[in-house]
Amino acid sequence: MILPTGGGKSLVYQLPTMMMDGITIVISPLIALMQDQVRALQAQDIAAQMISSAQSYDEVQDIIALAYNGALKFLYLSPERLNNGHTIELLRGLHINFFVIDEAHCISQWGHEFRDDYRALGNLKHNFPNTTIAAFTATSTDNVTDDILRELRLENPLLLKGKIFRKNIFISAQRRISNGNAQLKNFLVRHQNESGIIYVSSRKKAEELSTFLNVNGYKSLAYHAGLPQHVREQNFKIFVNDKINIMVATIAFGMGIDKSDIRFVVHMSLPKSQENYYQEIGRSGRDGEDSEVLLLFNAGDMTQHKRFLADITNAEYKVHLDKKIDEIYKYATSEICFHKQLAEYFNDTLDACKNRCDNCLSSNDKRQNITKEAQMILSTVYKTNQGFGKNYIIDVLRGSSEQKILANKADKLSVYGIGTQLSKKEWFVIIERLLELKMLALGDFSVLKLTHDAIEVLKSQKLVDIKSSRLQINIKEKKIKQEKEFDYDEELFEKLRQKRSELAAELGVPAYIIFGDKTLKHLANDMPTNKEEMLEVNGVGEKKFAQFGKQFLEVIR
């Protein structure tokens, strides 16, 4: 099954398990992810456990005893443990109804999170030839799907694929100005006291940005692989329990995170691929409520990613990853609907969203002819022997008296000082436009190089244009929030959230497991006064009412 994040993949295997005899074995890639799902099941009084390297020998033995006594419905394992001969023998003694492979894209070497231990899951069919296997992922191109089916040795499997489009997510992308912090602050104004994830490219940036946010009045923590395991787990717990609003993280954070009320996701630089990007933005708005994602980037991000490819020895795989980097940069710089581009990347079809991405909202922007400015840049690159980067080229155009310019006698060139009519930021945008049109290319050390298309522009055989709005550096923000589905008492909503946090702290579970934000909004709108009325509210069932109904009715009263 290929279904977007928040689409209900867990329910697809959890409900059948409850209706069948035996135990379901779930293979999951991260301890934090397994803990999250086990905790959620246990909160519903469903017998679930996990076995991981974080547990003692005695703890593992106790869990094995529960499984052998038929006292468990779900047992979560890591792929590393499943590929152990001792574990295989242990499983042979259980009545297994089916295996579940979560985050199945990790199986494929063409996916974005390939793992050797996941690849070895192909042995499941050999060891358990008569046991059904079900595999689930949110991100899978046709190539990855074929690879998963082949590696798992599935015979004539049922393949289910959901639509890529998440209409509750608004997508925007901007060229990053400096470190992007000013743009981030403008963005966060719309998300006061809301949960969000900000992805950064390094451990150092995670720490620095978290500090910056805390100094500016936001509650945030950093999450990255350099932190001790217990600190990562603690920070994760603080975030899912709404003790802080923002997690600043590297890609070490978030796979399968089940926090339903994340209202925004920001990338402070270009992700490595559209698979990474789509999975990460999918962590917002899992409850179906309006959410927003922002991508900040520049061409230097692409160069940085490509530099890391140098250590890869497999030539075919290196070409494959290089193409993915080009594709995500093209996505970010394109003027086509962002939702449509994502759908096509994953072999889906979609009409332009019209109002759920920045490209569609600004599709009627006026276009501006920048052929003359393009010729100035290309001429300057040529006359400086294609040996310098963006800053140097712009300094020559703007007639800078920097020591390096004068030392190279660039002030004697015919192009020196011909571009004073534009600001440095405007020249940066025009260079980015020439890069995305492939009239310029980035060489080693981000040196600008001319391409064949540049010659046609220099000879006035090809015109260059750009959205006018891209040159309006301080462009006014667009209104992007959809209208609320219904009115609700916001003061009551906050009191219900506070009660939810108190109950979550008492039970030691994430707040969203009790009730999602959407249910609290319905409660704040409908204001039920008794059990019968509360059971009419979307998201409240008999079991939830028995656990929490009286406490929330008391708040409403």
- Residue 112 has a pLDDT of 54
Handedness of CA 505, 511, 513, 518 (dihedral sign): positive
> Tokens for 438?
């492939």
Q: What share of the chain is helix, strand, coil (3-state, %, to 5)?
A: 50, 15, 40
Structure tokens at 190: 């719309």
The Cα–Cα gap between 268 and 179 comes to 8
Region for 257 from its dihedrals, namely left if φ exceeds 0, alpha if ψ lies in -120 to 50, beta otherwise: beta
- Among 48-57, 169-178, 479-488, the range with the most confident prediction by mean pLDDT is 169-178
Question: What integer is the mean pLDDT of 4-8?
Answer: 78
| Two structure tokens written together for 45 | 């009084």
Q: Among 30-39, 43-52, 535-544, where is mean pLDDT lowest?
A: 30-39
Query: Which residues are registered as beta bridge partners of 460?
Result: none
What is the average pLDDT score of the chain? 88
pLDDT at 254: 62
What pairs with residue 367 in β-bridges?
467
CB within 8 Å of 127: residues ≥ 6 apart: 88, 92
User: Using CB atoms within 10 A of its CB, is residue 25 exposed (0-12), middle (13-18) or buried (19+)?
Assistant: buried
**What is the band of 479 on the pLDDT scale with cuts at 50, 70, 90?**
very low
What's the CA dihedral at 522, 527, 533, 535 to 10 degrees? Answer: 40
**pLDDT in the model for residue 422:** 94
**Dihedral class, residue 45 (left if φ above 0, else alpha if ψ from -120 to 50, else beta):** left
User: Does residue 109 register a pLDDT over 90?
Assistant: no
What is the mean pLDDT of the segment spanning 237-256? 83
The pLDDT, as a whole number, for residue 106 is: 86
Per-residue pLDDT, 50: 94
pLDDT average, residue stretch 4-17: 87
| pLDDT value, residue 113 | 60
Taking the C-alpha atoms of 342, 348, 353 and 356 in order, what is their torsion angle to the nearest 10 degrees? -40
For 160-171, the pLDDT digits (tens) are 998 889 999 999
Q: What is the DSSP string of 219-279?
A: -EEEE-TTS-HHHHHHHHHHHHTTSSSEEEE-TTS-TT---TTEEEEEESS--S-HHHHHH
* Number of residues in the chain: 557
Encode pLDDT of 384-417 as tens digits: 999 999 999 999 999 999 899 999 999 999 999 9
pLDDT of residue 23: 97
Tell me the pLDDT tens digit for each residue of 435-473.
878 899 988 888 999 999 999 999 999 999 988 877 875
Please tell me the distance from the alpha carbon of residue 404 to that of residue 400, in angstroms, as a whole number: 10
Query: Among residues 98, 62, 64, 105, which one has the least CA distance to residue 81?
Result: 64
Domains of the chain, CATH where assigned: 9-151 (3.40.50.300), 169-361 (3.40.50.300), 367-467 (1.10.10.10), 490-556 (1.10.150.80)
- Does pLDDT of 484 surpass 60? no
pLDDT of residue 252: 63
Furthest C-alpha separation in the chain = 87
pLDDT at 155: 85
Compute the average pLDDT of residues 419-424.
93
Residue 199 pLDDT grade (very low, low, confident, very high; cuts 50, 70, 90): very high
* Residue 15 to residue 150: CA distance in whole angstroms: 27
* pLDDT score recorded for residue 477: 38
Q: What per-residue confidence (pLDDT) applies to 295?
A: 97
Higher pLDDT, 338 or 275: 338
The pLDDT of residue 473 is 58
The CB density around residue 35, as the number of other CB atoms within 10 Å, is 18
Most confident of 99-108, 179-188, 231-240: 179-188
Average pLDDT over residues 520-543: 90
Mean pLDDT score, 89-104? 93
How many angstroms separate the CA atoms of 457 and 74, rounded?
A: 63
The angle formed by the CA atoms of residues 305, 310 and 314, to the nearest 5 degrees, is: 110
- Residue 480 in this model has a pLDDT that exceeds 50: no
Calculate mean pLDDT across residues 530-555: 91
Contact 487, 525 (CB under 8 A): yes
Residue type, 170: F
> What are the structure tokens assigned to 340, written together?
């449509």
String of DSSP letters for 131-198: SEEEE-BS---HHHHHHHHHHTT-SS----B-----TTEEEEEEEPPTTSHHHHHHHHGGGTT-EEEE
* Collapsed DSSP state (helix, strand, coil) of residue 207: helix
Percent of the chain whose predicted confidence (pLDDT) is above 70? 95
Using CA atoms, how far residue 293 sits from 282, 296, 357, 542, in Å, is 9, 10, 9, 35
Instruction: Tell me what pLDDT residue 476 has.
Output: 35
DSSP per-residue letters across 51-108? E-TTS-HHHHHHHHHHHHTT--SEEEE-HHHHTSHHHHHHHHTS-EEEEEESSGGGG-
